[in-house]
Amino acid sequence: MRLFAVFAVLLVLLSFSAAFSVEEYLTGDEKPEDVSVSSLDSQAGSYSLINVKGKEYFLVKNNSFVVDADEISTVLSEYYFKKNYPNASELDEVVGLVRAFNTSRDQKSTYGLLSESTCKRFTGLDRNPCFDRNSCITACLSVYSLCSPFLYSSGEPFISGLIRNGEAMSLLDLHTVNILSNVEAMRGVTSPTQLLASNVSGLLTASKNDVSRLTYAVNSLKDNKLMRNDCPSCYDFCPAPTENLSMLEELSTKITLLQERVAPISSVPSIASQIQSTTSQRVEYLASIRTNSEYEALYGNASVFLANVSEKFASASVVINAPDTSTQLNYMTGKLFEVRRDIDAKNFSRANYSLKQFYAVGEATRLKIENYSSISKTISNARDNASVLLLRADWELEPQNILLESQLQKLESRKASLDIQLYNKTSPENASVFIKAYSSISEDAEAIIATKREQAHDYVFDAGLGVAKFGVNGVVGVLSTVLKLSFADKKNYSALAVPAAVFLAWVAVALFALVSIFSYVAKNKVYRNKARLVLWTFLFITLFFASLLLASSAVLLFQNQASSSSLDSFLSRVESHDTVFLVRDYRLAANPELITSCSSSIQGKLKLLSKNVTVYSFNAENCESSALINGSVQTSRREIASCAEDINELPAFYVAQSDANSTVFRTFYELDVTAKGDAEYLRKCDLARVMSK
């Protein structure tokens, strides 16, 4: 894992020059406004020092991080030396303050006498040192005319004052010299190389301490009873001290400012180490983020891959039985779980290994599932094709096609048996058996349809219907001219015309037969022969009821044809019309969207037949219509009866929802088809499927 992290860091460092954005390396509560950048010009080139919240974080050269500690130290030493190291005038200012303070030590004081030089002369310090009891007494005794009398008369308190005075004056001499020596040492640093070898911060700290000791010495002098005259025990022996404490305060302030400025100089090694450490941490942090992002994307791709193959397998497994593939999908699911776990734990090397295992099995599984999917689609297509052709054959056949109806029922039984077998699924190897079986059913259904269309008696029957319809239309047309009938009235009269015509024809035939038989019987005196009379009477009664049965059958047959026709008869009549109506009947719809969907499918098939489609929508209140006129869709809203009158005898396709499933074609009194059923029936939309064949 560590080796992987180092490799990731190197990758980020190599790619850093391509696009540098420090914001990527911020963490926690760090914000872009917390970042400041300083330009550094070094002998080695141009650098940028990046600070975050005032703290040095990165050193950048040519849009790349500098990670070598020695290089960082060298560049920072040059930078801080140029920026922060005290210049000559600042050092002169320090020296000037020290000298001004020294001068303030020996100014006119009490009685117009110089403070320090007079006190030294009075205490013998101008000729002898005073650093302890004995040396201070010896120095005092050397001034026998002034100091000795005080010594003998005052004793120990006076001697203590002498010692404090000697100590304070020694401190003043020592620490002023120390400060001046430190300044001279700082003047000797003229390059960053010397800076790294020197202890500038230590020199300033020592000088700050020297100022503190000077302040202490001055306060000690001011508090010494040798110089005071404001108490009963004060000696007023030396002039009051004249040292300027404000100069020491100014000097302390100046040195403090210099300390703050050179603090980074003394901290260059630690700052360099800090920058090196921060850079490594933040680069590794960003590498981790980028790696995490990359693996999140890889995980997402793997998830989509698994979802896709699982979805295809779910679809294929409706008919294909492949338990080994289910096992492989479970294995892939487990591996994907491991990838998720490893990414969350930032264990990217293990996540990578798990991904390789995932795809090693996944790719082979994908190819296998694609094959199963192809087989499943072939079986499903063969089954659907057989279903549609059987449905078309059912819609093509008419009551008089008794033999073909029997053949169709056998085909439907074969398919039902095959569907039951397929419900239990099949192996991929056995799939061809089902494909061939369904294809055979389709071929046989097509043969039934072809046979039906070739049968001669259908043409005769259709011709008879045509003659009947022509006659009915003629009669209804005459009535309509006289009575101004609506289309609904015409349809009602048409329904009565055929039974009335057949009844009149039967009455005429029956009367003709009765007259003919009566004439024959009378002419040939058949009534004289009782047996012959019974025979002719039986013949008349038989003919009477036979003609009555024939007339009734004719009426029933015509009425049945008027209420329900075949798909082929319907479509053949639709072909002669350029405009058709599509009626969406929403009045009893629990799922109106299914009516819309099915009718749209039908509309698409009609457009393929180059038909102009006018769409009517029936709802509880009115009828809304839409039609394409001059390239634009025109809409209107009227009463349902008005829309129904518009349809008249033009072809119409009705789609509605009901509990009973049916598709009924009518070609005698009107030319329309009504497809209605439950949600599943509308979802399949058999009419649109059959029209595709």
Q: What is the predicted pLDDT for the residue at 123?
A: 94
Q: What is the predicted pLDDT for the residue at 561?
A: 52
Name the pairing type of β-strands 652-657 and 35-42.
unpaired
Comparing 40 with 524, which gets the higher pLDDT? 40
Q: Give the N- to C-terminal CA distance of the chain in Å, as an integer.
A: 64
Q: What is the predicted pLDDT for the residue at 277?
A: 84
Q: What is the mean pLDDT of residues 290-294?
A: 83
Q: Residues near 132 by Cβ (< 8 Å), separated by ≥ 6?
A: 163
State both tokens at 19.
Answer: 């696009």
Asked if the model's pLDDT at residue 483 lies above 60, the reply is: no
Instruction: Tell me how crowded residue 557 is: count the other CB atoms within 10 A of its CB.
Output: 17
79, 107, 322, 404, 417 from 438: Cα distances, Å: 88, 128, 22, 19, 11
Name the pairing type of β-strands 652-657 and 632-638.
unpaired
Q: Residue 569 and residue 562: Cα distance in Å, rounded? A: 12
Strand partners, 662: 676
Q: Residue 300 and residue 295: Cα distance in Å, rounded? A: 8
Asked if the model's pLDDT at residue 140 lies above 70, the reply is: yes
Report yes or no: 96 and 271 within 8 Å, Cβ to Cβ. no
Q: What is the predicted pLDDT for the residue at 515?
A: 60
Instruction: Tell me how crowded residue 422 is: count the other CB atoms within 10 A of its CB.
Output: 18
The mean-pLDDT minimum among 95-109, 220-234, 498-512, 529-543 falls in 498-512
User: What digits encode the pLDDT tens for the residues 661-690?
Assistant: 989 888 877 788 999 999 999 999 988 888
Amino acid at 653: F
Asked if the model's pLDDT at residue 511 lies above 70, the reply is: no
- Mean pLDDT for the chain? 81
Q: Residue 612 and residue 2: Cα distance in Å, rounded? A: 74
Question: Confidence band (pLDDT; 50, 70, 90) for 426?
Answer: confident
The residue among 422, 418, 425, 423 whose CA lies nearest residue 322 is: 425
Q: What is the mean pLDDT of residues 426-435?
A: 89
User: What digits encode the pLDDT tens for the residues 515-572?
Assistant: 666 665 566 655 555 565 556 566 666 666 555 555 555 544 554 455 567 888 888 8
Query: What are the two backbone dihedrals, phi and then psi, of residue 303, each rounded to the nearest 5 degrees?
Result: -65, -45
Question: Confidence band (pLDDT; 50, 70, 90) for 348?
Answer: confident
The mean-pLDDT minimum among 130-144, 195-209, 345-359 falls in 195-209
